[in-house]
Structure 1
Amino acid sequence: MSFKPAEWPRRLRSQEWYGGTTKDVIYHRGWLKNQGYPEDLFDGRPIIGVLNTWSDLTPCNGHLRELAEKVKAGIWEAGGFPVEVPVFSASENTFRPTAMMFRNLAALSIEEQIRGQPIDGCVLMVGCDKTTPSLLMAAASCDLPSIVVTGGPMLNGWFQGERVGAGTHLWRFSEAVKAGEMTQQEFLDAEAAVTRSSGTCNTMGTASSMASMSEALGMALSGNAAIPAVDSRRRVMAQLSGRRIVQMVKDDLKPSDILTREAFENAIRCNGAVGGSTNTVVHLLAIAGRTGVDITLDDWDRCGRDVATILNLQPSGKYLMEEFFYAGGLPVVLKRLGEADKLHKDALTVSGSTIWDEVRDAKNWNEDVILPADKPLTAQGGIAVLKGNLAPKGAVLKPSAASPHLMQHRGRAVVFEDIDDYKAQINDDALDIDETCIMVLKNCGPKGYPGMAEVGNMGLPPKVLKKGIKDMIRISDARMSGTAYGTVILHTSPEAAASGPLAVVRTGDMIEVDVAARRLHLEISDDELSARLAEWTPIHERPDSGYAWLHQQHVQGADTGADLDFLKGCRGAPVGKDSH
């Protein structure tokens, strides 16, 4: 695919506010001039919104103010007029009850900022897990030229001579303390070693996965995903992106030109190749829903089923994002997919070139980090979508982070009605559970929690951990952190709070899991299942928060991206877009 630039100059959207001599124009322009901008900046050059998710309470994005200055420098250099706009920042670290509940609120608020303000293009300054999808969802809805700049991962963590990953080792060390293999003081000592620089998680958690998805979708410049936050090349990438967005506005190169079905299929396959987070499933489905591209869970399974995980990175493998960058970064992975005929090579990117043009010459500098095609970490690493009477609309599992011996298993259900029930029972030695059981958690989905918190990777009971057992099958309608690992079946749809079959599973029921056959089956008859569902009544109450109530009323299932129903699809051009 080639891209033909639009005629330039042309009257831009921002000129509806700033171009001319009418009373309204003088009102808009005059007020902005109080910041000391000279007259010629309003001469019709592109006004670029630098949409910044910096916040002191979003530690992953704490360095984005500095990075935004480099973006702005690039915009000035290319003849644009940058305006930095602080936008809703949903921090994974601090937001309660869960940042996921606020992804849609962030997308809604940012969409309206784009629609209602005098900007011609957007630089999406993102990092922490929900900031990337929320800004991409907003940009897709408005369809103004947009480019992603991620903050980058933090440096490697090291503790007691061991490479430790943010998030991943939190779970491992916590389990080790419960198993008596690590002292509480050692756990506390590890805290400072794990997150030792600015940036997002240095594992292939959701932040790094979504940075990779942005690049694989073509919405970021090639090489953007893996550059460490504190590396000078991260600032160079920001400045180059600032330059590039000005040309994108001149060419009218929009998200709808880039976010095609082929782009989403590239991203799905890339997610399997890097061992990406299960959270990318709900985020890419939501972004696709905003564009009107019909991507489903079946596409995830179809595109990812035969993709090998070739990135030896935590939580699935050994290394961290710093080594991934040194090895060559995502362009090497995309090149491998292209060589295996698993990449739509003609998909367009924000560079104006095809994705294959961007990656064809990439070189792998460390084949222990980015593995050879014939020596993958996991032969079938794409997200597995399981279905059956327990999950009629699907559930997901990450094979690269699961235990091979549990991929086909039949076990007795031990049920927790919600997360509080789990917390009340899990440490009790009287709990009737062993390593052959299947842990089931209900009422933690998009409606039920509300917001679908990252509680699906339930910690194992201490009495099982003390036997040296490291993994059990866990099933829920919740999510789990992209930094987590284990044989964890998530996003079970319909969720329990929406009268899904998960709601009526009882302790003692037998459940069959067969990942190869994509089967998740509750061993009761259809009549028994129907009778239980007929007797079931919802337990969730109206939330105190106004937005939580709105979310609960309008959120859709995880199988379609957990977006709000009234936000699906691109709902028309932003104010002033077609006035020229």
Structure 2
Amino acid sequence: MSAFKPAIWPRKLRSQEWFGGNTRDNIYHRGWLKNQGHPHDLFDGRPVIGIMNTWSDLTPCNGHLRELAEKVKAGVWEAGGFPVEVPVFSASENTYRPTAMMYRNLAALAVEEAIRGQPIDGVVLLVGCDKTTPSLLMGAASVDLPTIMVSGGPMLNGYFRGERVGSGTHLWKFSEAVKAGEMTQDEFLEAEASMSRSTGTCNTMGTASTMASMMESLGMTLSGNAAIPAVDSRRRAMSQLTGRRIVQMVKDDLKPSDILTKAAFENAIRTNGAIGGSTNAVVHLLAIAGRIGVDLTLADWDRCGRDVPTVVNLMPSGEYLMEEFFYAGGLPVVLRMLGEAGKLNKDALTVSGGPIWDEVKDVRNWNDDVIRPVERALTQQGGIAVLKGNLAPKGCVLKPSAASPHLMQHRGRAVVFEDIDDYKAKINDENLDIDETCVMVMKYCGPKGYPGMAEVGNMGLPPKVLRKGITDMVRISDARMSGTAYGTVLLHTSPEAAVGGPLAVVRNGDMIEVDVANRRIHLDIPDEELQRRLAAWRPPVEPPASGYARMFHDHVEGADTGADFDFLKGCRGSAVGKDSH
């Protein structure tokens, strides 16, 4: 890999198209901004840094990003730049309906146009809750101006009656315990207060912390960013250092296209396996790669992750939380372990301007129960498994580190739920014909089907099974699963049911075979019968009549390619139209 060559500085910056000179248009653009009290020499050619902030009162994970934005601004000022904070679309995982994933692409589109259409030379992306991280990088990658990210960080550990409580993970656990009669509703409400005891994202290795780790392993953040707790002073210090760094990146013209190479994505995939990361990372990295023009596929996920041990002992796969991960040394320790095992592309460039190996080669592991040596890994096959077969011709995914070993090879009778409403109507029925050997199947929860591909794939088990002490069953759907969830859950089944994929024609009583080791999923009916059912299939509902929901339905692609919009693929660059003023 050839070394990055910084651009010659000084040079005319993009923002000078707006601010440089004394034409009527230049004065128009400068003059209005001066009503904020900016002196004239701020417009003299110094880098204008856009701080894209996803703060929102309705995005609780990002509720502290205003404070971090001020630290970023301080760093930009110190380095000789001109910071401008820009509020951008913020979709919270826990408040947006029908699902935040439906708005990831809308957020990415809005961010892309906010960057391209304004006098910005470099970009700092302030992210946190699950979809804000991929959506902002997708948008920035489509413009390809110098970009760096800083995440809000995880919240502090939760504790309930002496037990660590992982946000999300224990929500599922306690909910199942209530249904099984092992916990009262009052106890559940008491536990609620312990789940979110500080600002920040989920404290498990859920999707938010997974995506923060993906950004660091891709080289898009300063080293160590992923694990610093939200309320730790070092998170604020890193924000200020990020502000300083982006100014130099603009001077060097170091862009996402220089960093987001195939080698970087391979590093991220292997990192995901090592940390026991969320299956949501699959659709997000595929979408980001599609924006920057890197050919990334599900086959790459399986190839790169197949032999990566899960060494990070965090919920939902393990027992600790993000605080302990940070104290143990955080993601740099994991990257060093991957490098020493020959599983890291050491020359991959980062926002530092140097190779990733230089960032991590000298770090130490301070707790080898939190970040375990390979011989004591949680599982030796931790990467996302991609299964294919007649039930999922384009693939489905499973997270081995969160699954039950005894179910990794399984044959069972299908119990079918036609959609999420059918599931909710039937799952608590004592007359439901189901036991722990069955395979739970849910349809019409993919990108088009829900719409938005909601996190409902980790279907709760029926109470009649839970009362037997059973905590896991094989579950299959075209939905997603929260990164905080666990179980032997096959997700993202492609093609999805809503476009006539084979999942749409599974019937109660069909036998389904799952063989993770051989990456096979099979609906055990004759091929002639499968083809007959597919030919007779018709969409169960009409698409939305209008609005964003209609645009989403008409243009979203399958989960196997990232569920992005078909018209947003590729990098469109930073050029803008002529000034009309």
TM over 0.5: yes
SS in 1 for 2:85: strand
Q: Does residue 1:387 correspond to 2:388, yes or no?
A: yes
Alpha-carbon displacement from aligned partner over 1:215-268 (angstroms, at most 9, x marks no partner): 000000000000000000000000000000000000000000000000000000
Q: Which amino acid aligns with 1:135?
A: L
What are the equivalent positions in structure 2 for 1:283-294 lying under 5 Å apart? Answer: 283-294=284-295
Paired with 1:340 and 1:69, the residues of 2 have a C-alpha distance of 40
Paired with 1:540 and 1:47, the residues of 2 have a C-alpha distance of 49
Q: Does residue 1:302 correspond to 2:303, yes or no?
A: yes
1:436 and 1:472 in contact (8 A); partners too: yes
What's the CA shift for 1:540? Answer: 2.7
Alpha-carbon displacement from aligned partner over 1:122-141 (angstroms, at most 9, x marks no partner): 00000000000000100110
Paired with 1:437 and 1:423, the residues of 2 have a C-alpha distance of 18
Q: Relative to structure 1, is the Cα distance of residues 204 and 26 closer, same or farther in structure 2, using a 3 angstrom cutoff?
A: same
1:16 and 1:576 in contact (8 A); partners too: no
Q: Does residue 1:268 correspond to 2:269, yes or no?
A: yes
Q: Does residue 1:503 correspond to 2:504, yes or no?
A: yes
Q: Which amino acid aligns with 1:92?
A: E
Residue 46 of structure 1 corresponds to which residue in structure 2? Answer: 47
Q: Does residue 1:119 correspond to 2:120, yes or no?
A: yes
Paired with 2:543 and 2:414, the residues of 1 have a C-alpha distance of 29
SS in 2 for 1:193: coil
Residue 228 of structure 1 corresponds to which residue in structure 2? Answer: 229
Q: Which amino acid aligns with 1:190?
A: A
Q: Which amino acid aligns with 1:326?
A: Y
Residue 475 of structure 1 corresponds to which residue in structure 2? Answer: 476
Q: Does residue 1:514 correspond to 2:509, yes or no?
A: no
What are the equivalent positions in structure 2 for 1:380-419 lying under 5 Å apart? Answer: 380-419=381-420
What are the equivalent positions in structure 2 for 1:118-517 lying under 5 Å apart? Answer: 118-517=119-518
Q: Relative to structure 1, is the Cα distance of residues 368 and 576 closer, same or farther in structure 2, using a 3 angstrom cutoff?
A: farther
Alpha-carbon displacement from aligned partner over 1:60-112 (angstroms, at most 9, x marks no partner): 00000011000000000000000000000011010000000000000001100
1:479 and 1:491 in contact (8 A); partners too: yes
What's the CA shift for 1:544? Answer: 5.3
Residue 3 of structure 2 corresponds to which residue in structure 1? Answer: 2
Residue 56 of structure 1 corresponds to which residue in structure 2? Answer: 57
Paired with 2:455 and 2:143, the residues of 1 have a C-alpha distance of 29
What's the CA shift for 1:366? Answer: 0.2
Alpha-carbon displacement from aligned partner over 1:411-452 (angstroms, at most 9, x marks no partner): 000000000000000000000000000000000000000000
Paired with 1:383 and 1:215, the residues of 2 have a C-alpha distance of 19
Q: Which amino acid aligns with 2:450?
A: Y
Aligned length: 577
Paired with 1:530 and 1:160, the residues of 2 have a C-alpha distance of 55
Q: Which amino acid aligns with 2:255?
A: K
Unaligned runs of at least 5 residues, structure 2: none
TM-score, normalising length from structure 1? 0.99
SS in 1 for 2:376: coil
Residue 76 of structure 1 corresponds to which residue in structure 2? Answer: 77
Q: Which amino acid aligns with 1:186?
A: E
Paired with 1:543 and 1:230, the residues of 2 have a C-alpha distance of 42
Paired with 1:544 and 1:336, the residues of 2 have a C-alpha distance of 52
Residue 108 of structure 2 corresponds to which residue in structure 1? Answer: 107
Residue 16 of structure 1 corresponds to which residue in structure 2? Answer: 17
Paired with 1:336 and 1:304, the residues of 2 have a C-alpha distance of 15
Paired with 1:189 and 1:372, the residues of 2 have a C-alpha distance of 37
Q: Which amino acid aligns with 1:453?
A: A
Alpha-carbon displacement from aligned partner over 1:353-397 (angstroms, at most 9, x marks no partner): 100000000100000000012110110000000000000000000
Identity %: 81
Q: Which amino acid aligns with 2:428?
A: N
Q: Does residue 1:550 correspond to 2:551, yes or no?
A: yes
Residue 29 of structure 2 corresponds to which residue in structure 1? Answer: 28
What's the CA shift for 1:545? Answer: 5.4
1:114 and 1:574 in contact (8 A); partners too: no
Paired with 2:254 and 2:572, the residues of 1 have a C-alpha distance of 19
Paired with 2:532 and 2:171, the residues of 1 have a C-alpha distance of 42
Paired with 2:174 and 2:137, the residues of 1 have a C-alpha distance of 34
Paired with 1:202 and 1:58, the residues of 2 have a C-alpha distance of 16
SS in 1 for 2:66: helix
Q: Which amino acid aligns with 2:417?
A: F
Alpha-carbon displacement from aligned partner over 1:1-31 (angstroms, at most 9, x marks no partner): 5322211111000000000000000000000
Paired with 1:373 and 1:243, the residues of 2 have a C-alpha distance of 37
Moved over 3 A (4+): none
SS in 2 for 1:194: coil
Paired with 1:246 and 1:389, the residues of 2 have a C-alpha distance of 52
Q: Relative to structure 1, is the Cα distance of residues 570 and 235 closer, same or farther in structure 2, using a 3 angstrom cutoff?
A: same
Q: Which amino acid aligns with 2:323?
A: E
1:11 and 1:44 in contact (8 A); partners too: yes
Paired with 1:146 and 1:362, the residues of 2 have a C-alpha distance of 26
SS in 2 for 1:172: helix
Unaligned runs of at least 5 residues, structure 1: none
Paired with 2:133 and 2:384, the residues of 1 have a C-alpha distance of 20
1:386 and 1:518 in contact (8 A); partners too: yes
What are the equivalent positions in structure 2 for 1:520-559 lying under 5 Å apart? Answer: 520-543=521-544, 546-559=547-560
Alpha-carbon displacement from aligned partner over 1:475-515 (angstroms, at most 9, x marks no partner): 00000100000000000000000110000000000000000
SS in 1 for 2:289: helix
Paired with 2:575 and 2:174, the residues of 1 have a C-alpha distance of 49
Paired with 1:158 and 1:254, the residues of 2 have a C-alpha distance of 42
What's the CA shift for 1:575? Answer: 2.2
Paired with 1:572 and 1:213, the residues of 2 have a C-alpha distance of 23
What's the CA shift for 1:572? Answer: 3.3
